[in-house]
Structure 1
Amino acid sequence: MRLLRLLSRPGFHLFLTGALMVLGFVLAHRLSERSGRDQLSALSTERLELYASNLAAELGRQASLPSLLAIDPTLQALMLAPGDAGRQRSASQTLARVNVRAGTSQIFVADLQGQVLTASEPLTPPARLPEVLAQGRSHFFAADPVTGSTDFYLLHPLRGSGPAGGVIVVRFNLAPLEATWVDLGLRSQNERILVADDQDVVIMSSVQPWKYAVLGHADPSRRAALQASARYPQAIGADLALPAALEAHRGRLVRLPLPGDVAEGRPMLAQQRQLVPLGLRLVALSDLTEVRQRAQLAAWGGAAFGASVGLLVLYLSSRRRALRQLTQAQTALRQAHAQLEQLVDSRTAELRHTNDALKTQIAQRLQTEGELLQASKLAVLGQMSAGLSHEVNQPLTALRALARNSIRLLETGRADAVAANLQIMDDMVERMSQITRQLKNFARKADEQVTGSVPLLDSVRNALLLLEHRSRPLGVQTDVDVPADLRVRAEANRLEQVLVNLFGNAMDAMADETERRLSVHVTVQDGRALVQVQDSGAGVGEADLHHLFEPFFTTKPAGEGLGLGLVISAKIVHEFGGTLRARPLPRGMSFEFDLAVAPWESPDV
């Protein structure tokens, strides 16, 4: 009975569903990954044999050339008199012709001490040639000291008269074959090839950063010995974490770094094939990323299957339990109906109270937005106060000087000069009156419900006048292209606040630039006036462009902005029936908004 109660509990079915999901995930992942690795290993084995055959064929293509040259009469004559200049020249011409026809890199004849007797072209023999001659080897690998590519050398002895003798050496470069591997590696990102010599140093690779790297770990003494062996360039590459013993038909999981990968490297399946006659190891590295992705997809499929089985069991159990509870629910429903009627009455009263509170909050919010708008205007006025005080202080100083000068001129009876001074004083007073009048209008709290016909050019000029104390020291060049008779649907005070914010931001952006140009262009089309405010500043980065109209976001240094100017400007433009947008330019930014064009007969508000 206890077991039946346990089986009927929803928690047990959820646990069973989770267990089946985890089991399906693990089994599907392991089976898929094992199958993918086996398939990848078989495919890599076939390609490894193909690469080995290709390398052996390339190295053996010229294997018979040294022995054929050894019986050439010209070379045999040279060995009878190695020091004869005529025979050396004749032998050099013969070697040059053979070199061109055979497609090799170089062919030369050297004595048993490694000194070149004659060659198809002037050359410097490889540094390890005397060592190879002393060992009696028939071939060896060496790095080209100029290009760093791998060269393969074939040797065949030449017999002369007496104990003297020599060796004929044929050199051909493996760079074309390696370039084919590199191209294959670029086109197929799932497989890489490398060839290591008997010192476990990579001499050929489809991944160039692996060139001349050491397989396994090389301590400083071994690196010094490798660099001193004259077999490789002076710079031995970094260690590659590749084990010395690898199986040809069953790969081993390794992690090797690739260009642009993370530090721990990419998981790969490593397989190798020994080229015993050449003393080389050919290693194929297959990328397991795709195998693991397929295994992960299969794992999620197995998890989905396990979850489906668990959910099916849960559904059947829940359905039986639901039928049993249906009768109980009908009885409880009748009881709940009576309680619901009482609850509806109480909820209705609560909603009525909440609705009244919400209306109060909306009114407070509208009041707060108005206060925030006025505070923003006062903040702009505060930022302009220092410059404007300087604008007013200069005329006052000049008025004082002109007044004193006029007193002296009156004493001397120079009425014409006094009249000129009075005219200048009148112009200065008019200038100060214009600035203070515009400041008073700008600081006035606007009625947000009033929208009338506003001359757009006057609003632009008033905004530029308020910021003239900033634009003049910066040397800002203004370009205003606004039709003189254009009137738009807006409220003059708030429209000027939008323009002051946009012009002020433009001047901040151009403060550190050598060229400071502020342009205001207006285009009228289909009853709408598109206003474009453009600057030649540094612009805004792509990451910040999407946050410009978010509250309290600013690109200015700390203490120089609250991040509310564009937010308030966008709100004002929206209330005028337009939209404020930001668009990056090749040099600078463009802020644009559109307003409805008002008929010329409409009264100015």
Structure 2
Amino acid sequence: MDPALINPVTPMQAIQAFQHEILSRPVFRYATRSLVLVLGAVLAVLVYSWSARQGYEQLNDVLGHQLDLYAGALESELGRHEYFPGIVAMDRDVQALLADPGDARQRERTSKHLASLNVRAGAMVIFVVGRDGRIAASSDWYQPDSAIGHDVSGQAYVNEALQGQPARHFSRSAGRNAPEYYFAQPVLRDGVVTGVAVVKISLDPIESTWTASVSQTNSEILLVMDENDVILIGTQPAWRNLSAAAMVRAMSVEGGGIISLRSQAPNAPMIQYGTQVRQMPHQGWRIAILANAGNVTVNALRNAVGTAILLAFVGLLGLFLAQRRRAIASQLKARAALQRAHDELEVRIAARTAELHDMNQELLREISERKHAEQVLRASQDSLIHASRLALLGQMSAGITHEISQPLTALRSLSYNSQLLLKRGEMARIEKNLQSISGLTERLGHLTDQLKSFSRKTPLTLRPMLLADAVSATLLLLENRIRTEHITVDSDVDASLRALCDANRLEQVLINLCANALDAMRDAPAKTLAIRVWRADGRAHVRVADSGTGIPEEALARLFEPFFSTKLPGQGLGLGLAISADIVRDFGGTLRATNIPGGAAFELDLQIAEEYSHV
């Protein structure tokens, strides 16, 4: 009988034999290895490109945050002196001197008065220029090189002010090459320009601070350029007063980019710098920061090399496993003919056992992943709420800086004045100054305590709190913006009403709603922010309304969707209202939006904490 009829070959066995024959051929193995090498090289290139792109994006983000801080400090320093020439122009002694420039006694009295004002202002010098272009009085009257009597009619800022327009001027001192800034204000009497009040300040502390700050890393360059792209202030002394037109053309007007510059050393290589630029429209300047981007390339190369090494290891491991698999397959094939019946039963039992074990392990893994996902979701929600809170603090940073800089300036003036009074022995006035200093420090302490409490990352904790305290804290943090934008606040708050909520997160919701209301009223003729807190239907209600243009009807249904925003691109991510709605929902309430006559309103309701008495 034919042996093939006794043990016929099945189709599956024929296919497996064909696959084993093909895979065993050397040509196929060489082709597989070549394909793995090509794929490894492509993956290394992709890893390098991705790492470089991520590194540049991260560098631009860091530079953007740093540049915002530098620009805010410079704006704050210029802003706190901007109003002072107007005060000098309205002074009675200055008006009297310009009415009679030849009065020597009036000149002496006015100069002494300007010296006193200069001490309080913290400026370099304050002087008054007559219609003839000569300095009639100056705060440095007691110095041998006093500017009284000097002709400054050739200065452009003096001529511009004599024409009736406030003027500004930047220059560097001839002796120390230090940056100086002039504020000029026309002095009017019965609508006629009688002279000019000038306040000169020094920007050398800011330039020195910047230079010391960037010298610690030795990888950053900070520049301030005028409208002609001439570098006015810079941490590189050799670049000051030079034109940066070519460099500016390589950067975007507003935003970041990568440029290549050559250092001043002979035959030095080109260095790539990450850049960020901000406009200072009030002065007509631009401020830019550059940082060495060489580490980005090094890190990208390191990642690509690491990927190549990992792929090589995986490839060698695969070759080893393939060789080992073929050896084991040969041994099993020899033993299979002798123990087929016994092994078939064992294989079936083992397969079923392994299947049950795998199903059990898969079930345990899914349970573990579900628990982990819930933990990650809670952590992500807390992190997103905290990030939103920090973003709100970033938006309010300019106003907070202004709120802190004013008391600090007053503290410096009071301290200096107390030193003079101590020499004179005027103890009563010293006591009055110390009382003023104490009040200012209490004001600063209250503001910083509020900022620390608001920025702290804490888990959700529901407890009774006075809603009036949350409203007061919100208005305190937005006080500077409300004042500078001339916003009228209409507050109707039940002072005894308590609700069950988390204090920090409720303040975050109120700040977000109030900030959106202020944004909506930016171009409104009448700006009124109305906040109402009342009790109705067994719930505590909070309402924030504005006198803006209202919310478009097509946007009302999508206001609380993540990443949906009615603001212009770059002015928000569209997460504020979505996060606020989630926070109120965690409190057991709801957040709603509606249009009202003459504006829009947002209203939320909370659970009243009746069981707690008022403290």
TM-score normalised by structure 2 residue count: 0.44
Query: Higher RCO, 1 or 2 (CA under 8 Å, sep at least 6)?
Result: 1
- Please say which structure displays the higher CA radius of gyration: 1
TM-score normalised by structure 1 residue count: 0.45
